[in-house]
Amino acid sequence: MNRLTYLVGMILYYLVAYFVNLFFAPVIKSFLPGILQGISAGDIWSGSFTSFFAISIFVIIIFVPLFCSLLIRRLHDINASGWFTLLLFVPLVNIILPIFLFFKKGTEGSNQYGPLTRGGFSLMSILKS
């Protein structure tokens, strides 16, 4: 994966995440006062809380693997282990790592993760795992 594919993939990821949050903001706002005042045990399975919980699980299930896949492929491009994605759980490093991966030049030729692939940009090259 080259830097252009990584950059476009990250931009698409953040745009989609932004619009999902924008679309579901009214749902989140509808139950936010309940959280601020405290939710009783009977309210946990109420409609607004359940819908927010379902949306949160959906977003985590869909977006986190896509984001990690993009980072792992870029890490392999610079001949680094995909386990470095665990650094996303470290504060401040989770901001610096994606930026670093954009500026770091990939290895020339093949590396321990396979041969050099310099295909053109396509949406499928981003979504491919």
pLDDT along the chain (129 residues), means of 10: 80 82 68 54 54 70 84 87 88 88 82 68 53
2 neighbors 116 (Cβ within 8 angstroms): no
Q: Which domain holds residue 8?
A: 3-127
Only one residue has tokens 């290895």, namely 107
- The Cα–Cα gap between 91 and 49 comes to 28
Look at the chain and report how many structural domains it folds into. Answer: 1
Q: Which residues pair with 111 in a beta bridge?
A: 114
Helix/strand/coil percent split, the chain, to 5: 70, 0, 25
Name 70's Cβ contacts closer than 8 Å, sequence gap at least 6. Answer: 1, 6, 9, 10, 13, 126
What pLDDT score was predicted for residue 129? 46
What pLDDT score was predicted for residue 117? 64
What pLDDT score was predicted for residue 124? 55
What pLDDT score was predicted for residue 110? 77
